Every structure is written in C-alpha cells, then in structure tokens.
Amino acid sequence: MEVDPGGGKKTMIVKKMVAFTKREEKRVKLEAELYEKLKNNEFVIAMIAHIVEENVTHYFLFDRYSMNFSEYLEKMKEEKKIVNELKHLQFFCGIVSAIEELNDYGYAHLDIKPANILKTGDTIKLIDFGSATKMPLEIQTSADHRKYREDAEELCSMMYRAPELFSCEIGSTLTTAVDVWSLGICLYEFFYLENPFQKVYEQGGSIALATQSPQMIKFDQGGTVSRKINNLIKSVLAVNPISRPSAGDLRKTVENMIQSWEEDDTSDAPNIEGKGDVPAHEITDEEFDRAMREQITNRELL
C-alpha cells in the first residue's frame, strides 16, 4: 500500500497487529524492540515506523520487496533453473549473520523459514520477529513441558521446528540451537528447492518422528548439489542440539567456504541462475575441512 512516512508517498509493507491481552502486548513490544536493536544489521529489514492506535492496534511499516524467498525458490523450481551454489551460499550467510546477532542478544527467532526472508535482486532481509523468545528456557515441570510445547506449536512452523521443540522433555533446556536447526532446513531448501520433510508431510507421516532421523533425508549423490554443500547441511541438522554449531560458528564456516570459492577460478561459475544441466561447482575436501575446523575453534568438546 502507499503511505506517506514523510517526504512523499512510498510503497511500503504495513504489518497490522492487535494486542488485546498482556501476552500479545508484550510480544508486539518485544518485536519493536528487536527491530530497533537490529537496525544496523544489513540483513534485517529496517522498521520505518511503529504506530500505535488506542494502545491496542500496532502498525509496523517496512520497505516493500519483490518477493519472499519461498516464492523465489518455487519460481526456480517451476522454471527448472539450476541453483548457483555460490550465490545461494552468500544468501544463506547473510541470514545466518542476522540470526547470530539476534542470538547474541539472548533471543531465538523461532520462525526462520524462506517465507520470512524478503528478496529484491541480490538483496535479502530477515523479517517477522513476532515469535522471538528469550533463551535459554529450562523445562523443569510437567507444566513447563505443556507450556513450551504449546508455545512451539503456536510460534514455530512445523516444517522448520527443531526436534527438541516437539518433545520439550522435562529436565532439558531449550537454547538458541533451535534456530540453527531451522537454518539447516532453510539451507537444504536453498539448494534442493523443497523442504526435506515435504514428502513425509504429503504422505501424512509424522514430522516429529522425521526430525529424529535426519539420516533419512534424501541427498543428491553426484548431481547438481555439491558434496560439500551436502556435508554442510548434515553438520547443521544434528538431532542433539549440543552437536549443532552456534550461529556464529556456522557463519564463520560459511564465510570460509565462500572465501575459498571466490579465491578459486570462478570464471566458469555462472553469475546468474541458468537453465539446463549445468554441473554444480565442487569445493575441495581441503577447503571444506578447513572451514569445519574453523567452526569448532574455541568450542568445548563434550
């Protein structure tokens, strides 16, 4: 819609939220606070304005983007386009850096998915902090178990939900590692153009059970997705949250992969997505191993 935030009319996104309860009001205020905290992150959409009417109705104003990343991936799939691995890895790195900063503030986004990433050209922005939750959360009682499971069902899209959010076992602790799992699912989609659990969902299977067996996820062997990308996905989709890298470690790993890629001869690598059977660029074993060693630097071995 067209609004006038000052300086003339401009096409913008307007997000309207009505907060009738204290819980809803708290969530809306937290979302506004997080946009303010993250305003200097180039991969988080900038909040142009936050308008409140009668202490109940909240309007968030943002710049408009061409499409969300889910639409972009679906379009690629429909048009049978080949993924430019370097470009998609760069897109992914941007979103990871946004989540890293959010996690550093002690919050999990809880609803990371391609539909919550906006895209125009090569510019991407993470949106929607309405599900953000302070971490860690200790599950000590059966009441905690019920509450956090219900919260997860409400706040976190099922196809991107971490295994521990399905179970919320008493005696366990939820951490920002839930976001890293969601990032892993997104990473798979960035290269395979579909959710790894899509067929399970379509066949009426249990997503909760499927997340406990990520080794059953189908990976392309010798096809258009390089082995190094597959290994990266597998390293992130660890059932045990302790085994997942932090967002910061993941960013460093991906940055090292990108740097190695760019230092290589990229003259044969396409700059845009193209059609046809174009082989995926392969990162060498040494490049990936170096990136993974960087990931575990300064991490405690358990």
pLDDT digits (tens, 9 = 90+) for 22-80: 999 999 999 999 999 999 999 999 999 999 998 889 999 999 899 999 999 999 999 99
Q: What angle do CA 119, 1, 77 make, to 5 degrees?
A: 30
Beta-ladder partners of 81: 275
Q: Six-digit token pair at 92? A: 């992914």
pLDDT on residue 88? 98
Report the predicted TM-score, pTM, of the whole model to 2 decimal places. Answer: 0.84
67-296 folds as: Transferase(Phosphotransferase); domain 1 (1.10.510)
Element (H, E) at 275: strand 274-275
Distance of CA 251 to the CA centre of its chain: 12
Spell out the domain ranges in the chain: 2-63, 67-296
User: What's the one-letter identity of residue 216?
Assistant: M
Q: Of 301, 299, 297, 24, nearest to 155 (Cα)?
A: 24
Topology alike, domains 2-63 and 67-296: no
Coil, helix or strand at residue 167: helix
Distance CA 154, CA 169 (A): 18
pLDDT digits (tens, 9 = 90+) for 213-242: 988 899 987 778 999 999 999 999 999 999
Q: What is the mean pLDDT of residues 144-162?
A: 98
Architecture (CATH level 2) of domain 2-63:
2-Layer Sandwich (3.30)
Choice between 261 and 165, residue whose per-residue pLDDT is larger? 165
Q: What angle do CA 95, 100, 105 make, to 5 degrees?
A: 130
Q: Of 191, 183, 185, nearest to 86 (Cα)?
A: 191
pLDDT digits (tens, 9 = 90+) for 79-105: 999 999 999 999 999 999 999 999 999
